[in-house]
Structure 1
Amino acid sequence: MLSTNNLSDRQRGRPREFNPDQAIERAMQIFWTKGYQGTSLPDLMGATKLSRGSLYAAFGDKHGLFLLALDRYISQALERLDEELASGRNALEGLKECMDGYVARTDGAAGQRGCLVVATAMELAAWDQEISQRIAHFFKAMEARLIKALARAKEEGSLAKNVDPTATAHMLVCFLEGLRVVRKIKAEPQRARAAVQMLISSLVA
């Protein structure tokens, strides 16, 4: 009888070169498309190209893999937010670039998936503390970045005097994430762009 110690990785159902980062990315895409409950183990096995045993050995279980996928999504979202906020000649231009980016990401088939954080908040946050903590971290980090950008705009003199950076940042988080939800029903993109333009106009000194 052949010992399992002598079996090749391919014979055990695991690729010769297993890239955990790539597997998490692929899992994230499946979870983003189907949601946590809608994603089956076969879905994850197909996406990651891992056998059941290899997937469990690498990530523990479906929930463990989902947490890693959610962490990846959050990290990518905050990195993109930092890049967009820093892209303008001044803070207000960076803020507009950020908001335009949100609108752009609601277009097309990809936009129909909405935001993984928002979808997860609706599906799981009420009963899963680990997920609830991650979502709270994301919104807090997003809001902190917007507060900083708005405070800088105020220092630059481009923000209207009656605009409070803290309250406005919270409003923007609600607006931008709400936009991802509304656009899932294929609302016209020009309406979203008009809403962004009106909001920016209300902030300008």
Structure 2
Amino acid sequence: MNVSYMSRMEMTAETQRDQRPRGRPRAFDTDAALDRAIGVFSVRGYHGTAISDLSDAMELTPGSIYKAFKDKRGILLAAFDRYRLVRSTKLKAAIAPFPLGRDKVGAALRFYAEAAHGELGQCGCLVVATAAELAVSDPIVAERVSVAHATNEAVMKDCILLGQSDGSIPAGIDAADTARALLCLLQGMRIVGKTGRNRAEMIVVADVAMKLLD
């Protein structure tokens, strides 16, 4: 067998190796798995959640979990990011149909009220739960919580400023201070919702909160 023929064989073998799939593809829906993890963390909290709880909920073996997320903290961070993306998208969709700034604030308050009663309310908010457990001790988590709060506060401020420009909210209201107060109220609604409040009670809270804009 001559050298040139050997070279062609080696090149062919090398090409075939390059065309082989590099590693097995992840055989599960990451977003769906994280959505289930969100439910566990929101109800049980970070410290109250075991890998076995996550394995059962996410329908993954512990080995698959460790391979995809490294550890429980890795799952939490990924679940937190997923939660923020989903909730932010839904909030924007909830306020989008309303042209006036005042109505946008009202829609945002009702959006939170609807998440703060019944079974969904008892599940709680992952941002609130994570802030309470880890924001003091974990700088990376603290930064994520801070960004989440700042983002929601900015949404409320923008709605108030819009309302002042379109005349639906008095010009004398301090937009920044009122947005911060509304943020605290919104997060408080999610905490109170954990105790099993009904829809009527939480909608009334949203209605009363609108008086901050008078």
Q: TM-score, normalising length from structure 2?
A: 0.82
Instruction: Report which stretch shifted further, 112-121 or 82-91.
Output: 82-91
Mark the runs of 5 or more structure 2 residues left unpaired by the alignment: 1-23
Q: Is the 8 A contact 1:87 1:97 kept in 2?
A: no
Which residue number in structure 1 is paired with residue 27 of structure 2? 17
Separation in structure 1 between the aligned mates of residue 51 and residue 212 of structure 2, nearest angstrom = 48
Deviations 1:66-108 (A, max 9, x none): 1000111111121122122222132211211111111111121
Which residue number in structure 2 is paired with residue 157 of structure 1? 167
Which residue number in structure 1 is paired with residue 21 of structure 2? none
SS in 2 for 1:181: helix
Separation in structure 2 between the aligned mates of residue 137 and residue 32 of structure 1, nearest angstrom = 19
**Pair 18,136 (structure 1): closer, same or farther in 2 beyond 3 Å:** same
Between Structure 1 and Structure 2, whose CA radius of gyration is higher?
A: 2
State the identity as a percent.
Answer: 34
Residue pairs, 1:13-162, within 5 angstroms: 17-162=27-172
Separation in structure 2 between the aligned mates of residue 167 and residue 16 of structure 1, nearest angstrom = 46
Amino acid at match of 2:88: L
Which one scores higher on RCO, CA 8 angstroms, separation ≥ 6?
2
Separation in structure 1 between the aligned mates of residue 151 and residue 162 of structure 2, nearest angstrom = 17
**Pair 198,45 (structure 1): closer, same or farther in 2 beyond 3 Å:** closer
Separation in structure 2 between the aligned mates of residue 149 and residue 23 of structure 1, nearest angstrom = 34
Which residue number in structure 2 is paired with residue 166 of structure 1? 176
Deviations 1:138-158 (A, max 9, x none): 001111111111101100011
Deviations 1:116-174 (A, max 9, x none): 11111111111011111100000011111111111011000111232111111101000
Q: Is the 8 A contact 2:157 2:176 kept in 1?
A: yes
Give the paired residue count: 191
**Pair 189,50 (structure 1): closer, same or farther in 2 beyond 3 Å:** closer
Separation in structure 2 between the aligned mates of residue 202 and residue 46 of structure 1, nearest angstrom = 45
Q: Is the 8 A contact 2:117 2:197 kept in 1?
A: no
Amino acid at match of 2:130: T
